[in-house]
């Protein structure tokens, strides 16, 4: 268990030898606590419509250059059937945020149908943003058992650098939503972005410790990658690390530190790492991460789910996974 001071020291340490030691130690901890295998979550980005206006995200409602879509129930089920047949034991239904009744009922119906056709064998994770407790309960009772809701940054003042101050964006609502998910019984995932404009090393240390404080079950962390149709793009030169190799080192340090802090959780090797290093996915899995999220969104729509520029996986074949680790097929891979 690292202290805040020790985490800051690691994050600022420039020794490659120390980084290798940290990562191999984290890998050992991962194998001891979660086993050798990598767990898979097939990602289905079923809608890019969003009522929010996060300052960094290409799907923000003010971006009129993105063509909006929502998959039909049949299209989502076809993706889920494909996941099931390949042997991905678990899927993630991800969308922009909507709180209208039509959307909520649609998601409930889809969850129930996936549970029905798979005879409850396919695990369902949702990533559909902030909702009220009633909605979270409705989806939980329909059969979803995991939920991803990143806090993005643990400090209130930093939150409002990434989000406008309006009725859709509230730091306290965000944090309370994560706590509500845990209370209901979801396996709850969260996470944050690093290398944001004006970010300090201390902020990253605090984000890592906040994950520990929230006692989440899963974590996805990724580097900030600018999207040209967003307000934060103007501040893209204010990031601390400019070189991709330095950002990758920060990514590996963050994963490895977190594995030391939380040995039993699931940590994702996020898609964004592929943008900064074409071996990023593998390096993360060798440094404490144990979850991969192959994208099963229909090829023709993937480029419309563009949260940041140059998102990978837009053309990759999601069925072709080749890793230097065993893969756990047909398993949910829940946190112990
Ligand atoms: S980060 Fe999520 S909630 Fe914010 S604009 Fe993008 S899709 Fe919507």
68-80 pLDDT, tens digit each: 999 999 999 999 9
Helix H or strand E encompassing 266: strand 266-267
Residue range 231-238: mean pLDDT, rounded: 97
- pLDDT of res. 306: 72
Verify whether ligand 1 is closer than 6 Å to residue 97 (CB atom).
Answer: yes
Verify whether ligand 1 is closer than 6 Å to residue 96 (CB atom).
Answer: yes
Residue minimizing CA distance to atom 5 of ligand 1: 60
Structure tokens at 304: 């419309």
Predicted confidence band at 46 (pLDDT cuts at 50, 70, 90)? very high
Verify whether ligand 1 is closer than 6 Å to residue 60 (CB atom).
Answer: yes
109-129 pLDDT, tens digit each: 999 999 999 999 999 999 999
Percent of the chain surpassing pLDDT 90: 85
- Atom index in ligand 1 nearest the CA of residue 130 equals 3
Verify whether ligand 1 is closer than 6 Å to residue 59 (CB atom).
Answer: yes
272-318 pLDDT, tens digit each: 898 899 899 999 999 999 999 999 988 777 777 777 777 665 445 44
Q: Going by CATH, does the domain composed of 37-199+216-246+265-302 fall within 3.20.20.150?
A: no
Q: Give the count of beta carbons closer than 10 Å to the beta carbon of residue 129.
A: 20
CA distances from 291 to 174, 185, 282, 305 (A): 24, 21, 11, 21
CA distances from 229 to 171, 177, 237 (A): 23, 28, 15
Q: Tell me the CA–centroid distance for residue 224 and ligand 1, in Å.
A: 14
């Amino acid at each position: 268990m690292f202290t805040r001071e020790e985490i800051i020291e690691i994050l600022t340490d420039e020794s490659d030898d120390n980084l290798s030691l940290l990562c191999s130690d984290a890998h050992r901890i991962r194998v001891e606590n979660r086993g050798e295998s990598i767990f898979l979550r097939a990602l289905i980005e079923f809608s890019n419509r969003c009522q929010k206006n996060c300052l960094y995200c290409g799907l923000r409602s003010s971006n009129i250059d993105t063509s909006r879509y929502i998959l039909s129930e049949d299209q989502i089920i076809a993706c889920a059937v494909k996941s099931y047949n390949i042997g991905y034991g678990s899927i993630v239904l991800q969308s922009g945020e909507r709180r209208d009744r039509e959307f909520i009922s649609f998601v409930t119906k889809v969850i129930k149908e996936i549970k029905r056709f798979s005879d409850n064998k396919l695990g369902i994770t949702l990533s559909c943003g902030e909702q009220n407790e009633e909605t979270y309960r409705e989806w939980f009772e329909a059969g979803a058992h995991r939920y991803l809701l990143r806090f993005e940054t643990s400090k209130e003042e930093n939150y409002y650098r990434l989000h406008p101050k309006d009725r859709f964006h509230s730091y306290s609502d965000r944090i309370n939503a994560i706590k509500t998910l845990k209370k209901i019984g979801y396996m709850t995932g969260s996470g944050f972005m690093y290398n944001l404009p004006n970010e300090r090393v201390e902020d990253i240390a605090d984000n890592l410790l906040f994950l520990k404080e929230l006692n989440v079950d899963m974590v996805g962390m990724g580097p900030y990658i600018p999207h040209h149709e967003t307000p934060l793009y103007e501040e893209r030169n204010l990031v601390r690390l400019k070189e991709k190799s330095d950002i990758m080192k920060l990514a590996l340090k963050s994963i490895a530190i977190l594995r030391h802090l939380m040995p039993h959780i699931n940590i994702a090797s996020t898609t964004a790492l592929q943008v900064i290093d074409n071996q990023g996915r593998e390096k993360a899995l060798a440094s404490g991460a144990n979850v991969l999220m192959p994208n099963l969104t229909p090829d023709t729509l993937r480029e419309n789910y563009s949260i940041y520029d140059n998102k990978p996986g837009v053309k990759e074949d999601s069925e072709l996974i080749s890793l230097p680790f065993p893969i756990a097929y047909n398993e949910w891979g829940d946190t112990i």
